[in-house]
Amino acid sequence: MSAVSRSRSLLSAFGGYCHTPACSDGQFYNMENLSARDAPLLRPRPQRGKIRQFNQPWGLFGRDKLCWVEGTSFYYNGFLVGSVSAGEKQFVGMGAYLLIWPDKKYYNIQTGEFGDLGASVTTDGSVGFTLSKQDGTLYGSYSASDAAPESPENGDLWLDTSQAVHILKEYASSTRTWVEIPTTYVKISFANLGKLFRQYDGITLSGCTGSAAGLNGSCVIQSCGDDWIVVPGVLDTPLEQETAVTVAREIPDMDFLTECGNRVWGCSSQNHEIYACKLGDPTNWNCFEGISTDSYSATIGSDGEFTGACTHLGYVLFFKEDTLHKVYGSCPANFQISTSPVRGVKKGSERSLVIVNETLYYHSRNGVCAYDGGLPVSVSGPLGSGTYQNARAGAVGDSYYLSMEDENGDWQLFVYNESAGLWHREDNTQVRWFARVGGELYFIAQDNALYGVNGSTSLYEGDEDALEQTEGPVSWYGETGDMGMDTPDNQYLAALQLCLELEAGSTLTVKLRYDGGDWVQAAKITAATKRFFNLPIIPRRCGLLRLRLEGQGDGRLYSIAKVTESATELP
C-alpha cells in the first residue's frame, strides 16, 4: 500500500525576467510586455501613446521641452527653430544653451537665438596692422631701433629691436630711464572684421605676412569693434597687406560630449585628447590666459577609442571599452584625470549611458553595468548568456529602459526597475533615441514615430500636430522555467491555483507544457467586468512542467499556489 501526503506553497512575489537555467519559482524564462510597476505583483506594461510620425528623424533630446531634428530642420517643443545638416545628432544642454553636434550650432531657449558656435572671417582687400593699446587706442609715433633715441622727452616711445623679442619702452624723465611696457598689442583693421567676435574670444590668426607674421597662431582678442580687433603682439612699423588674413574662432571636432561645472566637455579619438570650453561659454575652446575661466585640453595616453562620455555625481567620465577616465578639479589649474582599467562602454553603445536616481547604468562588452562612483557592478545576469550590441537607453522614475540588438540581429527592449531590482522584457521595439521630459519618457522607434512609454499622446496642450493615438490593449505573456526540479523522489506537482484580477474586456489563457512537449491549453477566461478570479489548474503527472500565461489587456497576478503530492510505500 502507499500513503499520499500533500504540501502547499504560495508564490506571491514575482521575480521578473530570468533567461537562465537557474530560473526559479516566481521568475519567468520568457516574457513579453510585462512590467514591475506593481511589483512584487505581476502586471502588463502601460499602453504607449503615439505622438508624431516623422519622415527622417536624426535625433531626440529632452530638457524642459522636447527637441529633435527632422531632415535638415531643428525643432524645439514642436516649433521650427533653424536649419542643420542631415545626419545623426548629438545634443548637449548647458544653462540656457542647447548645443547640436556635429553641426556645432547652438540654440538659446531663453532668447530664441540660433546660430553657429564657431566663426570665421577671411579678408579680401587691404588689411591694416598698427601697434595699439589694449582698448584699441593707437600709440601714435614711436621709433624702432637697436639703440635708444637721443634727447628723449617724457612719454616718448621707443621700440627696442636689439634683441630677438622686440620690446616697447616709454621714457620717464623723472628717473631718466626707459620703462618697459609689459604687454603690447596690435590692432588689425578691415571692414566687418570684428562683427562676429567678442572681447576675450580665443581665435586663430593665419595669413599674416612680413613683420606681422609673428601674429599667426592662437591668441585672445583683447577688444574689438565692427571693423577691427586687438590681439597681443608687437609690430616694428604700421603696415598694410593685400593677401588674405583669416580670423577664426574654432571649435574642435569631438566624438562625445557632456556638460559639467558650467563647461561643455568632449573627447576626440583621432587626436587622443579631452577638451573643455571656457567657463560658461561654449563658443570658446582656445582661451589660454592662465586664469580660472580658461578653456582646457589634455592628451590621453590610454589605448583604444573613446566609446562614451557623461557626467555623474559632479564628475566628468570618459569611457573606452576597458578604461574609465575621471576628471577631478574645479578649474584648469587643478584639473586632474585619473585612469581606471575597468569595464567601460561597449563601442556603439554610447547612448546606453543613463542615470537612474544616483546610479549610472551602461552597456559594456560583458553586459549591463551599474556604477555608483566606485567600481562597475554587473546587473544583467538575468538577461542570460547572449551578447548584445548597439544599446541605447532612457530612464523615467526608477526604470531603466534598454533597447539593444542581440546576436541574431533581433532587437529587444528590456526594462530594469532599480527599486525592485528586477528585469522585464517588453518587446522587439528598436529604439533609435530616448528622451525624458518631466514624468514621461519619449522615444523614436525604427518606424520613425515618436512614442510616450506612459501613454502621452501630445507634447503640450493644443498640440495641433499630435497624432493623439493610444495603443490598443497590450498583448502579453509570461513563461516560467521548469517546475519540478525541486520535487525529487516520488513528489510531483498535483495542482496550481492562480489568484488574479482582470480589467473589463481583458482575457487570460493558461497553457502547460509537459516534459518539453507542445503547449497544451488548460484554461481561458474573459472578464466582462473588472473582477477577481481564483483559477484552479490540474496538470497531469509529469517530471517537468512549464506554465505559460498569455493575456490581452490590463490585469494583475497576485499569487500562484502550488500543491505538491508525494507517495510513500507503507510496510
pLDDT over 50 (residue 291): yes
List, in order, residues 6 or more apart from 249 with CB less than 8 Å away. Answer: 118, 119, 120, 196, 197, 201, 202, 203, 204, 283, 284, 286
Q: What is the dihedral of CA 489, 490, 495, 497, to 10 degrees?
A: -30
Encode 377-410 in three state secondary structure: EECCHHHCCCCEEEEEEEEECCEEEEEEEECCCC
Cα–Cα separations (whole angstroms), residue 410 to 19, 214, 389, 405: 16, 59, 11, 6
pLDDT of residue 28: 97
Count of residues in the chain: 571
* 138 secondary structure, DSSP code: B
DSSP 11-29: E-S--EE--STT--TTEEE
Contact by Cβ (8 Å): 127, 293: no
**Among 43-52, 170-179, 210-219, where is mean pLDDT lowest?**
170-179
pLDDT over 70 (residue 218): yes
pLDDT tens digits for range 495-545 = 999 999 999 999 999 999 999 899 999 999 999 999 999 999 999 988 889
List, in order, residues 6 or more apart from 217 with CB less than 8 Å away. Answer: 204, 205
pLDDT tens digits for range 465-485 = 889 999 999 999 999 998 876
564 has which bridge partners? 7, 493
| Strand runs labelled E in 54-197 | 57-62, 66-70, 73-76, 79-83, 90-94, 97-101, 105-108, 114-116, 119-122, 127-132, 143-145, 157-160, 167-172, 177-180, 185-189
Strands ordered across the beta sheet of 323-328: 308-312, 315-320, 323-328, 336-340
For the domain spanning 252-464, the CATH number is 2.130.10.10
The residue ranking higher by pLDDT, 157 or 34, is: 34
Q: For a pLDDT cut of 90, what percent of the chain falls above it? A: 81
pLDDT of residue 4: 62
- At residue 478, φ and ψ (nearest 5 deg) are -140, 130
pLDDT of residue 93: 97
**Residue 488 pLDDT grade (very low, low, confident, very high; cuts 50, 70, 90):** low
Q: What does the mean pLDDT of the chain come to?
A: 94
b/e sequence 470-501, b meaning 16+ C-beta within 10 Å: eeeebebbbbbbbbbeebeeeebbbebbbbbb
**Residue 165 pLDDT grade (very low, low, confident, very high; cuts 50, 70, 90):** confident
CA 79 to chain centre: 23
First to last CA, the chain: 8
pLDDT tens digits for range 229-287 = 999 999 888 899 999 999 999 999 999 999 999 999 999 999 999 999 999 999 999 99
pLDDT of residue 387: 96
pLDDT of residue 3: 55
pLDDT of residue 490: 67
pLDDT tens digits for range 438-470 = 999 999 999 999 999 999 999 988 788 889 999
Contact by Cβ (8 Å): 305, 347: yes
pLDDT of residue 6: 77
pLDDT of residue 489: 61
The mean pLDDT of 426-436, rounded to a whole number, is 98
Q: Where are the domains of the chain?
A: 2-46+475-569, 53-117, 126-237, 252-464
Q: For cell 512584487, what's the residue?
A: 40
CATH class of the domain whose range is 2-46+475-569: mainly beta
* 63 secondary structure, DSSP code: S
The mean pLDDT of 396-403, rounded to a whole number, is 98
Contact by Cβ (8 Å): 498, 537: yes
The mean pLDDT of 33-61, rounded to a whole number, is 97
